[in-house]
Amino acid sequence: MRYSNPVIKGFYPDPSVCKVEDTYYLVCSSMQYFPGVPLFESKDLINWKQIGHCLTRASQIQLDQVNSSGGVFAPTIRHDNGRFYMTTTNDTTRQNFYVWTDDIYGEWSEPIFVDQQGIDPDLYFENGKTFFMSNGKDDFNIDGIVQCEIDIRTGRKITPSRTIWTGTGGRFLEAPHMYKINNKYYLVAAEGGTEFGHMVTYACGDSIHGPFKSYPHNPVLTNRNMGGYHIQAVGHGDLIEDNNGHWWMLHLGFRQSGQWLPYHHLGREVFLTPVTFGDDGWFTAGDNGVTRTFFETDRIPTAVVQQDKQRYTFENTNWDKDWCFLRLPHKQNYSLEQNQITLKGTEISLDQADSPTFIGIRQKDFNVSISCNVNLTIGESGITIYMDEHHHYDLAIRYDGGVYKLIERINIGDVKTIMNEIALEGSNHATLIIRSSNERYTFLAHTNDKEILLGTAQTKYLSSEVAGGFTGVIIGLYAYGKDSLAEFTKFNLEYL
């Protein structure tokens, strides 16, 4: 069959995967968004269904006033002796921790912290022992991939943290994962930074402690030399074996806006690439070490059909799975019903690294039409195309000097301005409409039986190449201002 990449679209970076019986489970980073660490399941590796989050309580993760692209970094999911474990880093507090559950559809435990530096932690279980890895400095001040043995019940270190591999010389050695395959230990990592030079590298050894010999043809997977190609920044991969003995890698990458438009605003996404082991024990990945938009494979039955949801509404989404908040939400300001949202604004704006009244859903493709009916009582409410507190485009209704107005606001770094405003004629409601292509957002409103064009803005100013950071565009519904109150109905997000 032929499948297309990415297999999970939109801002879902740093994937990690495990398999229990015939089901695969996958987690991703969530940064400053809450709930934290989206959790997916699949039967075939290409169709993924979100089943929840790992961090659903304020007691599990400190997100108060963290800057964008702070918070929850690079999780790993593993299963041992009937129990699931998810380990991750709160990069803002510089703490590594893990949580666990015996019910993958239920709640996860309170965090258990591990006293080891670095980010991108990994857990490896063998013969009743648990090994914890991250990048950074070990207890002897040596940089690299760092490992210690821990007591899985408490997180207490049993052995000192020691560097077991220093990579191949690429910058930002990170994302370590350990596997035992055919009595050999494989240490997979990422180098080059999670940008256009990103790559997957690995090494092999006879002991979990090393020494590790680098694969002679590293990097095993990278698109760094594919100038103008749709998929870039391939790296940060996790290996998984399917039920038929075939190996795969789930990894991140991003889709740039166009062949000669080296910008990405949808975020880092989840890609699936075939892996093949040779007789010499080394493995290769992808199409001669490259990840493609499409792969033809006989590893997945032809009866499997890759699904691609095209339309999202209030009615066909789940508030606890598909939607997210900025940092820890003030729940009293949200009324979430099956077909309507009521938002109460505060004096916290979208321009602050705080928790404005905001609920969002990830943008998953370039070409999309978004519409929603907004009924405002007072203050300001609307739709935001949100990258971070310094980079977002807002289409809203605002109560100003006794008059309701439609506004289009552009926020790009230090440039923050209302590009257009139009008075609503005797009304406090309108249908707000945003249409997107690879290169541009278009802002419109429908009121009094006519459609009004307010303006356009380029997508590239919401890209990581301009804004910085590690997130992607979130389509948000928001309310702002003391005593602000608004109702949102007939939300429709449709990919074209």
Contacts of 331 (CB under 8 A, 6+ apart): none
- Which residue out of 14, 191, 389, 487 is catalytically annotated? 14
Which contiguous run of DSSP H or E holds residue 465?
helix 464-467
Name residue 300's amino acid.
I
Beta strand residue intervals within 31-80, DSSP E:
33-34, 36-42, 49-55, 72-80
What distance in Å separates the CA atoms of residue 71 and residue 90, rounded to the nearest whole number?
A: 5
What distance in Å separates the CA atoms of residue 315 and residue 277, rounded to the nearest whole number?
A: 45
Contacts of 402 (CB under 8 A, 6+ apart): none
What distance in Å separates the CA atoms of residue 372 and residue 280, rounded to the nearest whole number?
A: 58
- Phi-psi label, residue 47: left if phi above 0, alpha if psi -120 to 50, beta otherwise: beta
Q: What share of the chain is helix, strand, coil (3-state, %, to 5)?
A: 5, 55, 45
Is residue 478 within 8 A of residue 357, CB to CB? The reply is: yes
In 3D space, the residue among 472, 473, 406, 464 whose CA is nearest the CA of residue 441 turns out to be 473
- Which residue out of 138, 149, 174, 195 is catalytically annotated? 174
DSSP symbols for 279-327: TTS-EEETTTS---SEEE-SSS-TT-------EEESTTS-TTTT-BEES
**Known catalytic residue: 14?**
yes
What distance in Å separates the CA atoms of residue 96 and residue 112, rounded to the nearest whole number?
A: 9
What distance in Å separates the CA atoms of residue 441 and residue 158, rounded to the nearest whole number?
A: 54
Contacts of 424-427 with C-beta under 8 Å, sequence gap 24+, read 424/397
Place of tokens 């049993």: 158
Is residue 284 within 8 A of residue 278, CB to CB? The reply is: yes
Strand 33-34 to 23-27 pairing: unpaired
**Known catalytic residue: 44?**
no
What distance in Å separates the CA atoms of residue 187 and residue 183, rounded to the nearest whole number?
A: 13
Which amino acids are annotated catalytic?
14, 174
